[in-house]
Structure 1
Amino acid sequence: MKTVKNRLFRVLKNKARVVTRAGFWKIPHDSREDEISLKVGRYTKPENWDESEEPETHKPRSELTLDHEEFIALIEFLQDNYEPFKHGVKAFIPLDRPFDQSNADQIKALFSLPRKKELVDFILKNEVIPEELAIGLEQAKRRKAIVDFQQMLGNDQVESNWQTWFQENSWVLGSEFVKVLDERHIDTHNISDFLMEAYDGFLDIVEIKRPEGQLRFWSASRDHGNPVPSQGLIKAITQASRYIYEVEREANSIKFLERVDNVRTVKPRGTLIFGRSGEWSSDEIEAYRILNSSYHNLSIMTYDHVLQRARQMVGM
């Protein structure tokens, strides 16, 4: 090894006719940290070659110079990959830099494996995801869903987009529902937005109407000073009530029970999500309470009620 001012050389391999050498170059700077470059070359070795000679004095067979940025990247590459690669590891996550994008790609590759059941069993058996992390992930997912919900409220989404959101986030409807059924057809003429399995194992109905457009909750005119339901709301209540009635009629139908995964159908209840309530007056809030109490098998919520419930459920 030979040291010259701001330079350091070392022979990596010395053969009969060829020598391989590496050298550091330090480039001093007044205004920032000094930079280090690396030169690696394979040179033809002349007769009576003196190891102290500079590598530039020989005609290189091959030579590569890495600037400071390239050199630092090479060091990181060697530190992160050499030992795992030597031991046959094809994919790994360096624990000193756990949140690099490359690590996210590795995790995605693991969780995208097609054998989902085996993957879940492996994760549970080996406690790969601690309970508190699993809870945190679920909370983060729900918080993101709430943000999406708020954005959708401001974008006047079509009803099909709302159906998709509720399909993916049925938790927002409350603990009384445990599963959205794949089937939506009650019969050949009636198709609900959602048929749900309630916590008690019975079938219930959820019907949604887009919150914007011309669908007002209260009529523009009052009756003796009291808020009254709009025609759109009355139609939606009638439709939801009809669905409840038709489901009751199908309660003893073997074909219907097969389509709804044999979820028991006795006195189904309905939930109707309709309109907005964020700017209601105090008497409209009171009228809503009275309206809801008049139905024994139908509960009416607005999109603002859903949002408020969701925020409370995740502690926002």
Structure 2
Amino acid sequence: MAQLKALLDNNVKDEQVYQKWYEDHPWVFGNSFLDNDNVRSISSSDNVDLMFPSVITGYRDLVELKRPDMEVLNFDNSHKNYYFTSEVSKVIGQCHRYLDVFQEEASRGLRDHPEIVAYHPKATIVIGRSHNWDKLKHNALHGLNRRLNCISIITFDQLLSQGERLIEIISEEYNT
């Protein structure tokens, strides 16, 4: 987690650097996934950033990585509410396509990888930073996520916190 924190603290913006880190540390996404797949191609023209098999079913879910310097939410003063930025809207559309294509292409397994099966897949988008957000902005992202179906948006800082908490839990269990 110190490596990820250092990347974020040093304002590293290269998606490939983060993709490599997440490939090497898939546990940061939680214990509901086994490991990440090496396969990235879900069709002849679509490649995803990360694909994880569920521990329970083996069905795959997708992760789309964007940059930590991208804004996640804007505030509309006239309506007094937060909304997704155009960057987030674009990646939601991208994931919508990926989920449709993946469901069609892998309902019985991908052509060259029959072990990779998609059945109502979900997508997680990792984008932006939230370390300096106030409670209202965190609540807004939570509320907007709750209204999405099969797609969730988390920030790099939220994923960092999740990883740190997983290490904390394991360390506590190991030390007792």
TM-score by length of 2: 0.88
Q: State the Cα distance separating 1:222 from its structure 2 match.
A: 4.1
Letter of the 1:258 counterpart: D
Q: Deviations over 1:55-89 (max 9, x none)?
A: xxxxxxxxxxxxxxxxxxxxxxxxxxxxxxxxxxx
Residue number in structure 2 paired with 1:295: 148
Residue number in structure 2 paired with 1:22: none
Aligned equivalents of 2:48 and 2:145: distance in 1? 21
Q: Which runs of 5+ in 1 are unaligned?
A: 1-145
Matches within 5 A, 1:1-316: 146-157=1-12, 158-199=14-55, 200-212=57-69, 215-219=70-74, 221-252=76-107, 256-259=110-113, 261-315=114-168
Q: Deviations over 1:146-180 (max 9, x none)?
A: 10111100223201000000000000000111121
Give the conservation status (yes or no) of the 8 Å contact 1:193–1:206: yes
Question: Size of the alignment, in residue pairs?
Answer: 167
Aligned equivalents of 2:37 and 2:61: distance in 1? 10
Aligned equivalents of 1:268 and 1:162: distance in 2? 23
Q: Deviations over 1:241-299 (max 9, x none)?
A: 21111101113466x2532x513321111111111111112221111111110122112
Higher normalized contact order (CA 8 Å, seq sep 6+, divided by chain length): 2
SS of the equivalent of 1:313 reads helix
Give the conservation status (yes or no) of the 8 Å contact 1:248–1:268: yes
Q: Which runs of 5+ in 2 are unaligned?
A: 172-176
Q: State the Cα distance separating 1:301 from its structure 2 match.
A: 0.8
Aligned equivalents of 1:222 and 1:176: distance in 2? 39
TM-score by length of 1: 0.50
Give the conservation status (yes or no) of the 8 Å contact 2:108–2:118: no
Give the conservation status (yes or no) of the 8 Å contact 1:227–1:283: no
CA RMSD of aligned residues (A): 1.7
Share of identical aligned residues, percent? 25
Structure possessing the higher radius of gyration over alpha carbons: 1
More strand by proportion, 1 or 2?
1
SS of the equivalent of 2:81 reads coil
CA gap 1:160/1:223 in 2 versus in 1, 3 angstroms: farther
CA gap 1:257/1:179 in 2 versus in 1, 3 angstroms: farther
Give the conservation status (yes or no) of the 8 Å contact 2:121–2:150: yes
SS of the equivalent of 2:83 reads coil
